[in-house]
Amino acid sequence: MTKPPFRQHGPGPGLVRLAIPNKGRIAQPINELIERSGLHLVDGGERRLITRTHDPNVEILFARPIDIPEYVASGVADLGITGRDMVLERGSAVEQVLDLQIGKATLVVAVPEEADIKAVADLDGAKVATEFPSITRSFFAERGITVTVVTVSGACEATPHLGIADAIVDLSSSGTTLRTNHLRVIEEVLTSTTVLVANPDALAAKREKIDELVLALESVIRAKGQCYLMMNVHRNALSDVKQVLPGLSGPTVMDVASDENLVAVHAVVTEDRVYQLINQLKRAGAKDILVMPIERIIR
């Protein structure tokens, strides 16, 4: 069957369509990232297949995560956000534009705790259940191991106990689900994060608008876990305060219109350092310390 020509069912030349998951473990974090980037949904959100944003040149397509790579490859969407595992499973011709650094998980080979299986080589001739049949076949074929792949659409971890498979290949983020189901990992297949992918033709034709969207998302990602410190420091204590502050590129120091010989010191620091830093800065001579959240960091 011949593929439809580029853009037959896609957005027009002045519009960028972004496909995002309509459900699943990464759907909520992606929605939050989209909102924080400034692409606010304006007409019903995920209850619609396609929804507008406050930017008249960007619209959102809600789709199953596994379908997003092919939607982007075929031109139905210009951009898509989904797991790297989904992109590899589909094998779609898309370009990775940005790692969103959320939804990290590892695709693993796991077997029942009581099974006499120590390594993947011991699975030769076995049945392996998975939601990722393409990745799984490639993984075992590359190692010269013959397995029967059983494709399932959910509850993969239950298949060994139901007698459907001897092992599974499934995503694990914390390992809790595997332990709960008395499974143990014998090998890691790949590590997956959430990625932004693009249609190669759209990337060339709509580069300016796509770059604008990528910058908005990237700036929010960079700001995650960072906060902004502002304080006043007596000039003779400035050296001690500088030694305390890590910052991204060192603190910014500015004169203050004051009779107390003060300077203003600003710095970006990680949130996990703030608790200890406040006390250290006070002891070094800082005062009037303000801690503020950062919405975006643009380099």
In a domain, 8, yes or no: no
Tell me the average pLDDT across 239-253. Answer: 81
In this model, does residue 249 exceed pLDDT 90?
no
In this model, does residue 4 exceed pLDDT 90?
no
In a domain, 218, yes or no: yes
Tell me the average pLDDT across 205-210. Answer: 95
**Residue 233 and residue 217 share a domain:** no
**Residue 203 and residue 71 share a domain:** yes
In a domain, 6, yes or no: no
In this model, does residue 88 exceed pLDDT 60?
yes
pLDDT band, residue 45 (cuts 50/70/90): low
**Residue 112 and residue 181 share a domain:** yes
In a domain, 4, yes or no: no
Q: Tens digits of per-residue pLDDT, 118-144?
A: 999 999 999 999 999 999 999 999 999
**Residue 78 and residue 198 share a domain:** yes
Neighbours of 285 (CB within 10 A): 18
**Residue 199 and residue 188 share a domain:** no
In a domain, 2, yes or no: no
- Tell me what pLDDT residue 8 has: 46
Residue 26 tokens, joined: 């990464």
- Predicted model pTM: 0.83
Sign for the pseudo-dihedral over CA of 112, 114, 118, 123: negative
Distance CA 231, CA 244 (A): 13
Q: What interhelical angle do 207-223 and 27-36 show, nearest 10?
A: 100
Indicate the residue among 223, 244, 264 that finishes a domain: 223
In a domain, 276, yes or no: yes
**Residue 186 and residue 205 share a domain:** no
Where b means 16+ CB within 10 Å and e means fewer, 90-108 reads bebebeebbebebbebbbb
In a domain, 219, yes or no: yes
Distance CA 87, CA 93 (A): 9
**Residue 212 and residue 83 share a domain:** yes
pLDDT band, residue 75 (cuts 50/70/90): very high
CB 70 within 8 A of CB 152: no
Cα-based distances in Å from 34 to 20, 76, 168, 175: 10, 20, 34, 28
**Residue 21 and residue 79 share a domain:** yes
Counted domains in the chain:
3
In this model, does residue 57 exceed pLDDT 80?
yes
Cα-based distances in Å from 80 to 67, 83, 106, 129, 259: 10, 10, 21, 28, 56
**Residue 235 and residue 188 share a domain:** no
In a domain, 135, yes or no: yes
| Number of alpha helices (DSSP H) and beta strands (DSSP E) in the chain | 9, 15
Instruction: Give the domain extent around 262.
Output: 226-293
Q: Tens digits of per-residue pLDDT, 255-286?
A: 888 778 899 999 999 999 899 899 999 999 99
**Residue 231 and residue 213 share a domain:** no
Spacing of C-alpha 111 from chain mean position: 28
Mean pLDDT over the full length of the chain? 91
**Residue 201 and residue 180 share a domain:** no
Rg (Cα) of the chain, in Å, rounded? Answer: 25
Looking up residue 288, the CATH number of its domain turns out to be 3.30.70.120
Looking up residue 168, the CATH number of its domain turns out to be 3.40.190.10
- Tell me what pLDDT residue 44 has: 57
In this model, does residue 6 exceed pLDDT 60?
no
- List, in sequence order, the alpha helices (H) in the chain: 27-36, 68-74, 84-90, 133-142, 176-180, 200-205, 207-223, 238-244, 271-284
Sign for the pseudo-dihedral over CA of 17, 72, 103, 97: negative
Q: Which residue has the higher pLDDT, 272 or 11?
A: 272
**Residue 97 and residue 23 share a domain:** yes
